[in-house]
Amino acid sequence: MITDIGTNTIYFSEKLEEMFPETANRIFGSLKLLGIEPKLLDCTKDIWARDYMPIQVSSDKFVEFRYDPDYLQGTDKGLRNLKTYPDMVCNKLGLKTEKSDLILDGGNVVKSSDCIILTDKVLKENRHIYTKPELISTLQKTFEVDKVVLIPWDTLELYGHADGMVRFIDNETVLVNKLYEKDTVLVNRLESSGLKCKYLNYKVKKQNKNNWAYINFLQTKDIILLPKLGVDEDEQALKQISDFYPDYADKNRIVQVEMNDIIALGGALNCISWTIKTQIMKIDLFRNKEILEGENPYERKINSLEVYEYIKSHIEFNLELNTWICIDKIFSEIWNSKIGLGGSFYWDEIEAEVLLEFKEHKILLPDNYVKTVVHLILEYIEQIGGILE
């Protein structure tokens, strides 16, 4: 299972800028100061990206569960119009997913490398499909974990999400919202699963009703973005999170962001983000070749047919020359217009760009074939050095 600390890429719904422009500017500005460029998701209907986007299990396994929450059902006008269809978002990204019949919200899955924690609302949501033992077994197999811990659903919280209740500090330790310290059933379920509990506590005269939001921070391998309420608990929350996650604090990678307008709706930073692990590649075009005195490295080019022969020797499907010419042309245009010499980019990003161009030009080649070819082009450039003709 890919954990929060294993992720390196942050997405937000395009609706965030539209609906909360000032808060979006604060969030994006904070991330950019930390050297992180967030990305946006198209085809979304609301800002709660964590809930509808697939869960990443490994580098190439994204589980697309059934996103059909009870709080978007019923007869109230407009509810169904707020439902995002994750397959549309993933298609726009060029992301291949594994479909599951599990009914879930992503915000109800808190994960370590070998354990997931959910509220037992998941039992109610899947009661017509699975018995409890069947559901736990299916969750284990789907998300490739040894342990599934079901904690009591706080029914005062409509959505039934675990990410406002607990977060992993490490594989053996869970951070628990102070609200649930005296919930013996919840604590016993965690501890009986071999997990140690630590608690967020606030020593103030009057507790702010929204201080639950601190535990709903955004975490990647590089940063923790922590909600800020503009109240006494802010400083105490920052101090405690810094103590619980010292590797981030030591590098000054914990930052607070004010977002009361979003918190008032029942969610915070983890709720509105989708974090994944992508393979990043810094192209150093000439690192594997000695540049001779007087040589202009920009004149060293890679012949398209050489790349074609390299790809054919590494694939098990037939790649016609005409199809290769189309791929080569599309790839080169994207490379020249969006990346350039020595540029940094994510492998899946350029794969998605090429896939979109293929669909627009109505070129028939399976998505996985296109991704394989693009991967091999990048691999060849990295190994040989040079620039495309």
Tally of CB atoms within 10 A around 334: 18
Report whether pLDDT(265) > 60. Answer: yes
Report whether pLDDT(363) > 60. Answer: yes
- What confidence tens digit (pLDDT) does each residue in 210-252 have? 999 999 999 999 999 999 999 999 999 999 999 999 999 999 9
- What confidence tens digit (pLDDT) does each residue in 59-112 have? 889 999 999 888 777 655 445 567 899 999 999 888 999 999 999 999 999 999
Q: Which domain holds residue 347?
A: 280-388
Taking the C-alpha atoms of residue 253 and residue 250, their distance in angstroms, rounded to an integer, is 8
Report whether pLDDT(345) > 90. Answer: no
> What 3-state DSSP class applies to 168?
strand
**Mean pLDDT of the region 339-353:** 59
Could you tell me if 312 and 269 lie in one domain?
A: no
Question: How much is the pTM?
Answer: 0.73
Could you tell me if 248 and 290 lie in one domain?
A: no
Name the domain boundary from 218, 246, 276. Answer: 276
* pLDDT the model gives residue 13: 97
| 209 or 329, which is more confident | 209
Report whether pLDDT(172) > 70. Answer: yes
* pLDDT the model gives residue 2: 95
| 169 or 288, which is more confident | 169
Q: Provide the 8-state DSSP code for 6.
A: G
CATH number, domain of 233, equals 3.75.10.10
Could you tell me if 300 and 333 lie in one domain?
A: yes
Name the domain boundary from 276, 303, 334. Answer: 276
* pLDDT the model gives residue 289: 41
What is the tally of structural domains in the chain? 2
Taking the C-alpha atoms of residue 306 and residue 91, their distance in angstroms, rounded to an integer, is 32
Q: How far lies 376's CA from each of 86, 338, 347, in Å? A: 28, 19, 11
Could you tell me if 272 and 284 lie in one domain?
A: no
Taking the C-alpha atoms of residue 354 and residue 332, their distance in angstroms, rounded to an integer, is 10
Could you tell me if 33 and 147 lie in one domain?
A: yes
Q: How far lies 224's CA from each of 34, 36, 251, 264, in Å? A: 10, 12, 11, 21
Could you tell me if 9 and 156 lie in one domain?
A: yes
Percentage helix, strand, coil for the chain under 3-state DSSP, each rounded to 5: 45, 20, 35
Report whether pLDDT(388) > 50. Answer: no
Could you tell me if 290 and 226 lie in one domain?
A: no
**Mean pLDDT of the region 266-270:** 96
Closest CA to 228 of 248, 192, 255: 255
Of 41-55, 119-133, 151-165, the one with minimum mean pLDDT is 151-165
* pLDDT the model gives residue 235: 96
Report whether pLDDT(334) > 60. Answer: yes
Helices (H), the chain: 15-19, 21-33, 49-52, 86-93, 121-125, 132-143, 184-192, 233-244, 246-250, 260-263, 269-272, 304-312, 321-334, 347-360, 367-384
Backbone φ and ψ for 344, nearest 5 degrees, come out as -105, 140
**Mean pLDDT of the region 115-140:** 96
Could you tell me if 55 and 155 lie in one domain?
A: yes
Could you tell me if 60 and 147 lie in one domain?
A: yes
Closest CA to 139 of 117, 112, 161, 162: 117
**Mean pLDDT of the region 105-128:** 96
**Mean pLDDT of the region 303-308:** 78
Name the domain boundary from 232, 256, 276. Answer: 276
Contact status, residue 162 vs residue 202, Cβ threshold 8 Å: no
* pLDDT the model gives residue 385: 56
Contact status, residue 97 vs residue 54, Cβ threshold 8 Å: yes
Could you tell me if 211 and 63 lie in one domain?
A: yes
Taking the C-alpha atoms of residue 317 and residue 325, their distance in angstroms, rounded to an integer, is 16
Of 6-15, 53-62, 283-292, the one with minimum mean pLDDT is 283-292
Could you tell me if 207 and 332 lie in one domain?
A: no
Closest CA to 324 of 303, 353, 298: 303
Return the residue matching tokens 């992993």. Answer: 168
Provide the mean pLDDT of the chain.
86
Could you tell me if 209 and 347 lie in one domain?
A: no
Taking the C-alpha atoms of residue 247 and residue 253, their distance in angstroms, rounded to an integer, is 9
Of 182-186, 267-271, 376-380, the one with minimum mean pLDDT is 376-380
| 148 or 317, which is more confident | 148
